[in-house]
Structure 1
Amino acid sequence: MLIIRSLAYQIVFYLIMAAILIVTLPFFFFLPHRAAIAVVKFWTGASMWALGVVAGTKIEVRGLEKLPKGGALIAPKHQSAFETMALFPLLSDPTFVMKRQLMLIPLFGWYTWKAGMIPVDRAGGSKALRKLAADSKAAAAAGRQVILFPEGTRRPAGAPPDYKFGIIHLYRELKVPVVPIALNAGLYWPRRSFLRYPGTIIIEVLDPIQPGLDSKTFLSTLIARIEPATDHLMAEAAASTNPPPIPAEAQTRISALAVAGTA
């Protein structure tokens, strides 16, 4: 049943994407920014709705009131492709920092460009960092929420944190609040797998980090907020009535929480 429901969701997911792209394609060049954002929000929202209906994977969002309406830097934990979609409908005017190559994908890439996503060349060195900062600063100044995954790429649930310099660079340059987000999506939507486990993915918006800290203090604060909160959410999933498979690394971190709680 798990395989059937997971495959069914994959089919529905691509059907939704194809239908939206085809229906809106005749109007593509005339779509204003807000309309393009609305299209992406509808697509991601419909995909998340289908995730619950078809695969039985529900979504719970906590701390929604902490999300800003104006310019900010959003720093989510990155465990799977789930958060690249699920976060979009929650924000008023979001823009993702994404690999430049994704914008070259026919149709899909065109819409990311139309919606004003921020491309980054990961092999571009300091020049790419300067452009990323300039583009992100312009977006934040326009009142948009810039979403940057602090670890750069998807990490397995429970893997040791591997935060990159990019989040520090943007914190220093943008001078806007950074909103950390913890989640346990990697347990229900594992990276590099088509399986979608039934249960509830929890997204927890954490207290914002205000601008003005030095780089070292900022990074340690960011990690201290995201990592323990993520561990607690993974522990909550493991203790649920229908728990997903818990990878060994995640189980180790969950066990450490239990030990710390009894110390």
Structure 2
Amino acid sequence: MIIAVRSLIFMLVFYSGSLLFVLWAIAFGWVTPLMVQRTATAWSRFHRGCVRWLLRQKVVVDGDLPQGPYLYIIKHESMFETIDMLCLFDRPAIGAKRELFDIPLWGGIARRYGLIPIERTAGASALRVLRAAARDRIAQGRAICLFPEGTRVPHGEAPPLKSGFAGLYSLLGLPVVPIAIDSGRVSPRGRFLKRPGTITYKVGEMIPVGLDRKEAEARVHAAINALNA
């Protein structure tokens, strides 16, 4: 019962507060993209606070998280990490499925912020567009964050990586920082109830540039699933 009450309060507080952040971004986002980025960062910190104080979920980073021109590849189990990336990095450029950019109001804010649209059926042309967008964000000094599984997966499952990772790894020529997360243990996909506990980010060993596709994918896959047990 306590978990249900906390989950309900979290939903009411977080989504009501999120509406205010969206309205603020719409009202003042036209001034400069930096205004949207700062608003998004404040929203992420608001979310982290709601998670900590309302759901009693603690966030821990296991390992040293390097900051720089890297390609960050993250496990995807919950909505939590899609928002929390803005607490880990400075104005990260996060890859998001193309359909999200068609959502009224939110899509315009996403473009203004500088999210990277990803076509799920990515052919060669789509990959070139993705590379151009990623290089533009890198030139701005921003981290590139991708969820290579393409969608949220239940905790403990380890589906194969989508093909876009290998293509982007080859085209960008950036070292990869793989990150595992176990958010699905306490905030499962599609579940209203969110349990108290610890959400852990586990930073894997950096993967250098120049590996062949199979080896790079194998090392990333193992690293982002390091918390599955």
TM-score scaled by length of structure 1 = 0.81
Q: Unaligned stretches of 5+ in structure 2? A: none
1:182-201 equivalences under 5 Å are 182-201=180-199
User: Residue 21 of structure 1 aligns to a residue in which SS?
Assistant: helix
Q: CA deviation at 1:185?
A: 0.3
**Which residue of 1 is the match for residue 166 of structure 2?**
168
- 1:11 partnered with 2:22: no
**Which residue of 2 is the match for residue 239 of structure 1?**
none
Output the CA distance in 2 between the equivalents of 1:72 and 1:13: 31
**Which residue of 2 is the match for residue 2 of structure 1?**
3
Q: For each residue in 1:101-139, what CA deviation from the matched residue of structure 2 results, as whole angstroms up to 9, or x when unmatched?
A: 212223322221111111122235332222112211222
CA RMSD of aligned residues (A): 1.6
The answer as to whether partners of 1:66 and 1:208 remain within 8 angstroms in 2 is no
**Which residue of 1 is the match for residue 224 of structure 2?**
226
Q: CA deviation at 1:90?
A: 1.0
Greater CA radius of gyration, 1 or 2? Answer: 1
**Which residue of 2 is the match for residue 76 of structure 1?**
74
User: Residue 71 of structure 1 aligns to a residue in which SS?
Assistant: coil
The answer as to whether partners of 1:77 and 1:150 remain within 8 angstroms in 2 is yes
**Which residue of 2 is the match for residue 67 of structure 1?**
66
Aligned AA (1:230): L
Q: For each residue in 1:132-181, what CA deviation from the matched residue of structure 2 results, as whole angstroms up to 9, or x when unmatched?
A: 12211222233221111111111111113321111111110111111100
Q: CA deviation at 1:2?
A: 1.3
Q: CA deviation at 1:23?
A: 3.0
**Which residue of 2 is the match for residue 245 of structure 1?**
none
More helix by share: 1
Aligned AA (1:123): T
1:42-53 equivalences under 5 Å are 42-53=42-53
**Which residue of 2 is the match for residue 242 of structure 1?**
none
Percent of residue pairs bearing the same amino acid type = 35
The answer as to whether partners of 2:116 and 2:133 remain within 8 angstroms in 1 is yes
Give the direction of change, closer, same or farther, for the CA distance of 1:225–1:23 in structure 2 (3 Å limit).
closer
Output the CA distance in 1 between the equivalents of 2:199 and 2:176: 22
Choose 44-53 or 125-134, whichever is displaced more. 125-134
The answer as to whether partners of 1:66 and 1:207 remain within 8 angstroms in 2 is no
Output the CA distance in 1 between the equivalents of 2:30 and 2:209: 38
Which runs of 4 or more aligned residues in structure 1 lie more than 4 Å from their structure 2 counterparts after TM superposition? Answer: none
**Which residue of 2 is the match for residue 23 of structure 1?**
24
Q: CA deviation at 1:41?
A: 0.8
Q: Report how many residues are paired.
A: 228
The answer as to whether partners of 1:73 and 1:147 remain within 8 angstroms in 2 is yes
- 1:102 partnered with 2:68: no
Output the CA distance in 1 between the equivalents of 2:224 and 2:118: 24
Output the CA distance in 2 between the equivalents of 1:206 and 1:105: 34
**Which residue of 2 is the match for residue 113 of structure 1?**
111
**Which residue of 1 is the match for residue 38 of structure 2?**
38
Q: CA deviation at 1:220?
A: 1.4
Output the CA distance in 2 between the equivalents of 1:108 and 1:59: 27
Aligned AA (1:48): R
The answer as to whether partners of 2:36 and 2:113 remain within 8 angstroms in 1 is yes
Aligned AA (1:67): P
